[in-house]
């Protein structure tokens, strides 16, 4: 029986699965007390986290028996991967398990931005009847969606966007060729500059790496199509928030949806205040009841099988 610590929330069925075979400590707020968490890891063989637990060198040094880290999500920025590799610690992300939820968020945000749902709500509540203004909005059908990062989530976005009649193009620095075949369909691969100038909506699905830090800078944003929408459900550090706000205020860009921020939890967003063409949410695009069940059960199963095979 292995010892497992879970420092952030996991679903009840996944927790029960792990407790059938292992000694599990489940304290979903323990990431807030890092020193206490570190002190509890001396005999731990499995650690399960989301994105708020910092699995850094200090934490890993305090867990000499650690064999596996399960990540309830896909981004690995909070995990010291080189140290894990050096210490022969397996890192397991929940690749693809939250893709449906993220893709629904992307399409929902694109519709809300293109039809002006938020400002229409505010103005209607205020007693106005802004029918002429919002009758001049556009359909998504026939527009171009640029998918920046074409991994597991980007591919689900592609399938759902096709159902709405969007033309899709993609950019991914890890892929080569002119197109990518997805089942019976294919999507054109473009250089980033070409995608920027041809897309009515751009959706980001890249990890935060040195090469993608501030990838959407002032220069990049200014290459986007006049009036285009930007949706970021990837990582906040990819987009220069101040530069984006300037272009939303000026009308250079038509709107944006940000689910992720450079600092999280986001405490100071004054630079984004007062923008009616902006949707903000607290990093929840990939977190729904259904996706949490899939993510939790996937990681619980993978960690359970790894530890039992390693014992």
Looking at 71, 155, 205, 283, which residue is catalytic? 283
* Residues paired with residue 202 on neighbouring β-strands, in sequence order: 146, 230
Query: Which tokens go with 269?
Result: 């967003």
Q: Are 181 and 158 in contact (CB under 8 A)?
A: no
Cα distances from 246 to residues 16, 70, 261, in angstroms, run 49, 39, 16
283 is catalytic: yes
Query: Which tokens go with 224?
Result: 């986007």
235 is catalytic: yes
In the chain, helix, strand, coil percent, each to 5?
40, 20, 40
Which helix (DSSP H) or strand (DSSP E) does residue 168 occupy? strand 167-171
Query: Which tokens go with 105?
Result: 């968020």
Closest among 230, 226, 221, 227 to 201, alpha carbons compared: 230
Closest among 128, 126, 108 to 117, alpha carbons compared: 108
Looking at 29, 77, 139, 264, which residue is catalytic? 264
Residue 246 in 3-state DSSP? helix
Query: Which tokens go with 140?
Result: 């998504």
Residue 79 in 3-state DSSP? strand
205 is catalytic: no
Looking at 71, 235, 247, 294, which residue is catalytic? 235
Cα distances from 5 to residues 103, 114, 196, in angstroms, run 31, 44, 44
Closest among 113, 55, 49 to 85, alpha carbons compared: 55
Buried/exposed 5-41: b ≥16 CB within 10 Å, e otherwise: bbbbebbeebbebbeeebebebeeebbeeeeebbebb
Q: Which residues are catalytically annotated?
A: 235, 264, 283
């Amino acid at each position: 029986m292995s010892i497992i610590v879970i420092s952030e929330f996991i679903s009840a069925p996944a927790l029960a699965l792990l407790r059938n075979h292992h000694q599990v400590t489940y304290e979903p707020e323990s990431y807030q007390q890092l020193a206490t968490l570190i002190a509890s890891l001396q005999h731990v063989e499995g650690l399960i986290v989301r994105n708020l637990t910092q699995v850094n060198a200090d934490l890993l040094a305090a867990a000499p028996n650690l064999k596996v880290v399960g990540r309830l999500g896909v981004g690995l920025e909070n995990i010291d991967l080189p140290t894990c590799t050096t210490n022969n610690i397996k890192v397991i992300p929940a690749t693809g398990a939250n893709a449906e939820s993220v893709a629904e968020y992307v399409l929902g945000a694109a519709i809300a931005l293109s039809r002006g749902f938020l400002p229409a709500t505010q103005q209607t509540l205020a007693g106005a009847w802004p029918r002429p203004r919002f009758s001049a909005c556009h359909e998504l059908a026939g527009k171009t969606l640029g998918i920046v990062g074409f991994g597991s989530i980007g591919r689900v976005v592609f399938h759902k966007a096709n159902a709405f009649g969007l033309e899709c193009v993609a950019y991914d620095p890890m892929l080569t060729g002119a197109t990518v075949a997805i089942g019976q369909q294919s999507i054109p691969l473009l250089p980033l500059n070409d995608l920027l100038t041809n897309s009515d909506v751009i959706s980001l699905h890249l990890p935060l790496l040195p090469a993608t830090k501030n990838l959407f800078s002032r220069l990049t944003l200014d290459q986007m199509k006049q009036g285009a929408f930007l949706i970021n459900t990837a990582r906040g550090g990819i987009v220069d928030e101040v530069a984006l706000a300037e272009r939303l205020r000026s009308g250079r860009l038509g709107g944006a949806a940000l689910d992720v921020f450079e600092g999280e939890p986001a405490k100071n967003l004054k630079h984004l205040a007062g923008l009616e063409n902006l949707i903000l949410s607290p990093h929840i695009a990939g977190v729904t009841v259904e996706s949490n069940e899939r993510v939790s059960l996937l990681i619980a199963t993978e960690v359970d099988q790894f530890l039992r095979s390693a014992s």
